[in-house]
A and B are shown apart, each in its own frame.
Chain A
């Protein structure tokens, strides 16, 4: 998101989900859409029925490949080289949108110089994708009017994740595919309210609405509303909190509804850090792997037991409504926070949860026009600044928030950990259709567990043969951080030399293996999509 924010001034999907069905070309890179955003994928299939073509760039043969016009199987971590060489072709063959570039962007000339070396041949050398396919993709992309570009963690969870996003931003600006209906750059958000939790100031540098904590005017506005002084020094990120906990600089951590002991890279390291805290408070609906380490566990409620709003991937604010009573003494997260706040002598007095929502609108103009009575069946998309504003289906119609869109010259940088003789395979991690994230909820559904019963590693048939591994064999997978044992699934989804493990399963947690040291320098995202491992039959 930091990448997008730097280029355009805000980080969110630029378009709406319903617009997908009118795309001519749908370019999906680093997203297993059919499994991870199944209903978005249905819109894409609808577009195909209306004549759209899907291009997929993914190291794995993901299910949507079946419906695609072109599939590019780049090596994990080589996206910048792939995109640069596609752009090289687009420029060379005169498919760049000169008018758009001139009127709405800056930094083009310098960016252009950086593209010179990325011939399709050079692209092929780095990515392993035949140059013909690179050229074909560039032409499909470059010649179409309404291209929608979609990505997820396959782009961002790299030590060069921000650069990957810059490259995609370059691509959409180069071809003028942004700021119109059905054309834009769309990060699909992986969790129900990940957009909302970013919007609400879940960030060490931003107050709600992406308003900087270092901006005195912003702080003053919040200080008046909240009736107290606010800290001006930016805080530290989740990953840095773990590092500081490990060295004893961070003493207390309050975690609401997260499970870093399973979702963060290098689990052993994370657990050690959490155990080193003087006070670990975990607020959740189950005794998660993280809660097991806590000093205090606070019982919260599920989505079905509370009122409020979620903001989905296309900035759509939608209602959450209470359907059932929670068990025992479990309480709404909002109740817990307000009661705790009272103990500190700071009264948070809200008659009901709607009042909290209205306070957000006072502090963030994009929410100012929304109240619960306006949130109907289709929700309402921010920005929605006034009561008579209908919400905003797509962004940047009249310009980017930062003025002109900024081209960034990006050079391909290999992922930090490359396969070698000792660790010859590239491990990439992700989700599968049936489970959700760390499995806290889905693994407690019997039917789900029957169909998706445990951890596995996808191994290419050729690699399996070389290692004398058969489907269902137990294999031991080892990286420089640790080792796990799990069942082999022989599958043509990954290419030779690449293996995949879903990260849902604590009994063979993929994040025991992943690399916490390789962080994107700008947004501190860990390189969960590439690390080097070795595999042995167990």
Chain B
């Protein structure tokens, strides 16, 4: 069923289950948010999506208000603008504001809002939260001074990952996101929390000082680990993959696991083979491609002449591409002349 309503003097219709925020978005009307995520249940925590609705005495959160037939909504009155500006100002009053050296600079929602609302000065001075304790885990950097308590990380961990490794502890000014009993994180390190964090509070430890978003190129590809086939966005800087993310509208819905998101260091490992090797006097020694290919041809061909093609076998790879595997079996069958081709599907 569809309901009709008016947002910013525009007559629109939306599904009866939609919230004001969803109806506005579907119709191209921008309402700023910090805690909303279309894949998570509405939370109503950041108070940034406040809108005025005719007949209601006070502004309400668009993300938690269901639409009604005939509703009249204003999303950007002067009053609303002031309220939103104050919300961001309050968040910044207790924020390190160290964008210059923050990993998130350039794709930080808070930074963007501070810019949009022209918050050069802050009317609110006072105590700032100080969390000196950093987490001992090897994957996730948790810079909790930058947390705005949008609870997206907590929600994604519970609603999507089914892990519930973190919650908000304490109340008011002392409120903070932490694992039970403020221990070190004990989780699956999928980094879903990092992917939804709107500020620099959560990031990957490996990302540090490695080229922020603006300095990187992105390449969309497919994960090399298990068979899920998650779509990856590799961020590349100076011929190095410096971080990995995924778009929400992919087969994996933007979610990744610890390997897909964090296990890419092997690409630049110093252990990588960088030249062909031939065993000489019992030792593997570097050789040129030409020498190596000649060596293989001589040996393989003489084995083929002496013992027939079926004395040769080939194992192709569940890690390699379709094209490579196709060429490999073509080589074994058409060039060597044997069907001794297999791979490790059984192992």
Q: What residues of chain B lie closer than 8 Å to A226, measured between beta carbons?
A: 330, 334
Q: How far does the alpha carbon of A131 sit from the alpha carbon of B70 in the complex, in Å?
A: 58
Considering the complex, give the chain A residue whose CB is closest to the CB of B327.
Answer: A337
A144 sits at the interface (CB 8 A): no
Give the distance to chain B from A384, nearest Cβ to Cβ, in Å: 14
Considering the complex, give the chain A residue whose CB is closest to the CB of B294.
Answer: A343
Q: Which of A196, A203, A255, A292 has the most CB of B within 10 A?
A: A196
User: Could you give 28 example pairs across A and B, Cβ below 8 Å?
Assistant: A37-B228, A39-B260, A45-B162, A46-B160, A190-B318, A191-B226, A192-B319, A194-B227, A197-B343, A202-B318, A231-B338, A238-B315, A256-B315, A258-B317, A263-B344, A285-B272, A287-B271, A294-B284, A302-B266, A302-B267, A310-B224, A323-B219, A324-B241, A333-B324, A339-B293, A377-B231, A433-B257, A444-B265
B322 sits at the interface (CB 8 A): yes
Considering the complex, give the chain B residue whose CB is closest to the CB of A236.
Answer: B340
Binding site for A on B (CB under 8 A): 137-139, 159-162, 188-190, 205-206, 217, 219-231, 234, 236, 239-241, 247, 249-253, 255-260, 262-267, 269, 271-279, 284, 289, 292-297, 299-301, 303, 307, 309-347
The 3 closest A-B pairs by CB, nearest first: A312-B229, A328-B274, A257-B317
Give the distance to chain A from B223, nearest Cβ to Cβ, in Å: 6
Q: What residues of chain B lie closer than 8 Å to A433, measured between beta carbons?
A: 188, 257-258
Do the beta carbons of A256 and B324 come within 8 Å of each other? Answer: yes
Give the distance to chain B from A311, nearest Cβ to Cβ, in Å: 6
**Contact partner, A341, options B205, B239, B335, Cβ 8 Å:** B335
Do the beta carbons of B325 and A193 come within 8 Å of each other? Answer: yes
Known: A264-B347, A337-B324, A377-B249. A190 touches B227 (CB 8 A): yes
Known: A314-B229, A451-B137. A202 touches B341 (CB 8 A): yes
Q: What residues of chain A lie closer than 8 Å to B217, measured between beta carbons?
A: 323
Interface string of A303-338 (1 = CB under 8 A from B): 111101111111011111111111111111110011
Q: How far does the alpha carbon of A341 sit from the alpha carbon of B294 in the complex, in Å?
A: 11
Q: How far does the alpha carbon of A408 sit from the alpha carbon of B307 in the complex, in Å?
A: 41
**8 additional A-B residue pairs with CB within 8 Å, beyond A37-B228, A319-B221, A333-B321:** A42-B160, A192-B318, A226-B334, A316-B229, A326-B272, A327-B272, A333-B328, A441-B225
A524 sits at the interface (CB 8 A): yes
Q: How far does the alpha carbon of A195 sit from the alpha carbon of B338 in the complex, in Å?
A: 22
Give the distance to chain A from B62, nearest Cβ to Cβ, in Å: 24
Q: How far does the alpha carbon of A471 sit from the alpha carbon of B217 in the complex, in Å?
A: 46
Q: What residues of chain A lie closer than 8 Å to B274, measured between beta carbons?
A: 299, 327-330
Considering the complex, give the chain B residue whose CB is closest to the CB of A241.
Answer: B313
Known: A191-B319, A323-B241, A356-B326. A442 touches B259 (CB 8 A): yes
Do the beta carbons of A235 and B313 come within 8 Å of each other? Answer: yes
Q: What residues of chain B lie closer than 8 Å to A343, measured between beta carbons?
A: 293-294, 296-297
Q: What residues of chain B lie closer than 8 Å to A444, measured between beta carbons?
A: 265-266, 269, 271
Do the beta carbons of A256 and B317 come within 8 Å of each other? Answer: yes
Do the beta carbons of A252 and B256 come within 8 Å of each other? Answer: no
Q: Which of A38, A284, A434 has the most CB of B within 10 A?
A: A38
Known: A40-B228, A231-B309, A333-B320. A252 touches B346 (CB 8 A): no
Stretch of A95-103, A204-212, A494-502 that contacts chain B: A204-212
Q: What residues of chain B lie closer than 8 Å to A204, measured between beta carbons?
A: 339-342
Q: How far does the alpha carbon of A312 sit from the alpha carbon of B97 in the complex, in Å?
A: 43
Q: Which of B223, B234, B323 has the most CB of A within 10 A?
A: B323
Give the distance to chain B from A240, nearest Cβ to Cβ, in Å: 9
Do the beta carbons of B321 and A320 come within 8 Å of each other? Answer: yes
Give the distance to chain B from A444, nearest Cβ to Cβ, in Å: 4
Give the distance to chain B from A323, nearest Cβ to Cβ, in Å: 4
Do the beta carbons of A296 and B318 come within 8 Å of each other? Answer: no
Known: A39-B252, A323-B234, A445-B264. A312 touches B227 (CB 8 A): yes
A295 sits at the interface (CB 8 A): yes
Do the beta carbons of B275 and A328 come within 8 Å of each other? Answer: yes
Known: A66-B162, A296-B279, A451-B139. A200 touches B322 (CB 8 A): yes
Do the beta carbons of A296 and B292 come within 8 Å of each other? Answer: yes
Known: A45-B162, A263-B344. A39 touches B293 (CB 8 A): no
Q: How far does the alpha carbon of A524 sit from the alpha carbon of B318 in the complex, in Å?
A: 18
Q: What residues of chain A lie closer than 8 Å to B255, measured between beta carbons?
A: 39, 42
Known: A296-B278, A296-B279, A333-B324. A441 touches B224 (CB 8 A): yes
A5 sits at the interface (CB 8 A): no
Q: How far does the alpha carbon of A450 sit from the alpha carbon of B184 in the complex, in Å?
A: 14
Do the beta carbons of A340 and B224 come within 8 Å of each other? Answer: no
Q: What residues of chain B lie closer than 8 Å to A198, measured between beta carbons?
A: 343, 345
Known: A189-B227, A337-B327. A324 touches B267 (CB 8 A): yes
Q: What residues of chain B lie closer than 8 Å to A340, measured between beta carbons?
A: 293, 296-297, 331
